[in-house]
Structure 1
Amino acid sequence: MPSPLPVRDGVGATRLHVPLTGPWPTAAAYMVERFFHLDPERLLERFDRGDIVRADGSPLPRDAPLGSVEFVWYYREPAVETRIPFEIEILHQDDHLVVVDKPHFLPTTPGGKFLQNSALVRLRNLLDNPDLAPIHRLDRATAGLLMFATRPATRGAYQLLFENRQVQKVYEAVSARPASGTLPSFPVVYRNNIVKARGQVRVQVDDTKEPNSETLVELIDSDERVVHTLLRPHSGKMHQLRVHLAALGIGILNDRFYPDLLDDLPDDFERPLQLLARELRFVDPLTGTERVFRTRRTLQHAPRTGAPVSDA
């Protein structure tokens, strides 16, 4: 469903579904209860200013009865953002694709307290392209390769590559060496069933179900402190690599979610998650040629003695 509002400052309007029936006399009353954490009067003032609109772009008045509209659009008004002090590096740009090296801590798309501090919004503003859209996503904590489509007409062809698992993805991770000193027998293929429940920050593992995630884990190097691994995911479940390495006893350094959920604290920019999206390889659906992109970033705690492995 197209938005009636244009992209503004790199950020698209938010669409909200409004129930057609319920205990609320008006659509505005539903939104006041839905967004209980906001000041009700300030929210109602946005109706009076015409900031909340219908599908045809017309303003929705605060007294519009429930059932008179199913969807509304509006621009989010977050608190003042603190800039994430790391920059995106553009590695490739053509008529259809933009490939970047995303830093740690920067989310792929706007969400929560991050709007301008997202890779998508920064790139839209930098390239003056409101049609720019992510083809896939990386966790906010993960650094490395991220691809964006530059135009809607060809976006779907690239997104299908990921949906059909036709993109070979390679990651690197650095983990603390287990206290026992015993490492898994590499290479190892790890599989399990991962479920993401609404409202939960971590995924859950369900050992009663058939595996829906799979990762090949190879050893790059290790020393007395850390283990440096190469990861080839066959699937793309949320937090898959973090869950799999934690299950193998080599949870990723600085991971605040796995194996244990730690207290939610402000970002510590000196302690980024040691996970890096290293390589993307695929056959271009428009030209039929093989394309390979590699990150220029490195993980700060990776051993420096080992030779890099070949991904050929």
Structure 2
Amino acid sequence: MVLRDRVPLEGEYWAARAGDSPFPEGTLLPAGAVLSRPIPVWHHPVVPPEDPIPFGYTVVHADEDIIVADKPHFLPTTTNGRLQRETLQTRLRVDFGEDEIVPLHRLDRLTAGLVICSRNPATRADYQRIFLEGRAVKRYRGIVKQPLFCDEEIRLPMHKPRGSRQVLVADNGTPTSTYVRAAGREVTMWPRTGHTHQLRVLLNHLGSPLIGDDTYPTPRPLDLYDFSCPLSLLHETISFIDPLSHSERQFFSSRGLGTTIR
């Protein structure tokens, strides 16, 4: 960030590298000091205390390039603006002692299952391309409120209005594609795109929202510590061709929809 006019009285700010800065890199700037020009700085904000999310992840696989974690319900994958410490990424970084661990794809806070993370910056771009180019095959399983009978690819345009928790099916939205197979209340889905809430929006659009969904069809007040009704959605398998070894890799979640909280 860049400071102008004066160093704030609250917080600590260290001078960053800049050719015309009057402060050596790494210098702690005096609080309240008047600045003659804009100064690039590093700032580590104070993170308020957070109550723990009482569910843990497991490690399905780890090598020098990736970690495959099996995430519980209710734990955000990365910070969501409200939780900083209680996230899968932060827990992995602390547990492995590595600051370079980065999830390669998203998984909703309420969804349980597999998350692949990069731990090696040198190979990160190779693995990121798998997801950017849609070369990972993901399978999800869910339980819906109303029986659904379907065995086809469904394409829907989706749009998330600014400031809204809900994603809408809208003509001007981003195209999405999901293969859906269902013959009752249990649904298996293979998303071919990665839009926010894609599977939840799709099932709600079909008239069969997921059990435990706090946003569709009607949003409930957001409570990050209400663990009473988990979303019945699990990312249970993922497969892809490894960009380094060129061999097929496949990983499985050990969680079941009836026991995904534990």
**5 Å matches for 1:143-292?**
143-177=112-146, 183=148, 185-207=149-171, 209=172, 212-219=175-182, 222=184, 227-292=185-250
Q: Relative to structure 1, is the Cα distance of residues 54 and 188 closer, same or farther in structure 2, using a 3 angstrom cutoff?
A: farther
Write the deviation string for residues 150-188 of structure 1: whole angstroms up to 9, x where unpaired: 11000111011000000011111111126xxxx3x4113
Inter-partner Cα distance in structure 2 for 1:124 and 1:162: 22
Range 84-93 or range 253-262, more displaced:
253-262
Q: Secondary structure at the match of 1:116?
A: coil
Structure 1 consecutive aligned stretches of length 4 or more whose deviation exceeds 3 Å: 25-28, 57-67
Structure 2 residue aligned with 1:45? 10
Report SS of the residue matched to 2:204.
helix
Note if contact 1:78-1:113 (Cα within 8 Å) is conserved in structure 2: no
Counterpart residue number, 1:293: 251
Which 5+ residue runs of structure 1 have no aligned equivalent? 1-15, 19-24, 29-42, 303-312
- Change in Cα spacing, 1:64 to 1:166, as seen in structure 2 (3 Å) is farther
CA distance in 2 between counterparts of 1:168 and 1:250 reads: 24
Which residue of structure 1 lines up, in the alignment, with residue 43 of structure 2?
Answer: 74
Moved more, 266-275 or 240-249: 266-275
Q: TM-score, normalised by structure 2?
A: 0.87
Aligned-residue RMSD, C-alpha:
2.4
Most deviating of 123-132 and 80-89: 123-132
Per-residue deviation, 1:212: 1.0
Cα deviation 1:120-162 (Å, max 9, x = unaligned): 1111111111221111121111110001111100011101100
CA distance in structure 1 between the partners assigned to 2:112 and 2:215 by the alignment: 16
The higher-RCO structure (CA 8 Å, 6+ apart) is 2
* In structure 1, C-alpha distance between the alignment counterparts of 2:41 and 2:154, rounded to whole Å: 44
In structure 2, list runs of 5 or more residues that go unmatched: 18-25
What is the alpha-carbon distance in structure 2 between the residues aligned to residue 80 and residue 139 of structure 1? 23
1:112 to partner: Cα distance: 2.3
Question: 1:211: how far off?
Answer: 5.4
| Alignment partner, residue 32 of structure 1 | none
Which amino acid in 2 is paired with 1:232?
A: W
Q: How many Å separate the matches in 1 of 2:167 and 2:14?
A: 35
Q: Percent of pairs identical after alignment?
A: 34
C-alpha change, 1:162 and 1:67, in structure 2 (3 Å) is: farther
* 8 Å CA contact 1:79, 1:113 repeated in 2: no
Give me the TM-score of the superposition, normalised by structure 1.
0.74
Deviation digits for residues 52-110 of structure 1 (CA, Å, limit 9, x no counterpart): 234324445544559614x5432232321111111110010111111010000111113
Deviations 1:218-246 (A, max 9, x none): 01x53xxxx11001101000111110000
Equivalent residue of 1:187, what SS?
A: strand
Distance 1:256 1:72, change over 3 A: farther
Matched, 1:132 2:101: yes
Give the letter for the 2:169 counterpart: V
Structure with higher strand content: 2
Aligned partner of residue 193 in structure 1, secondary structure: strand
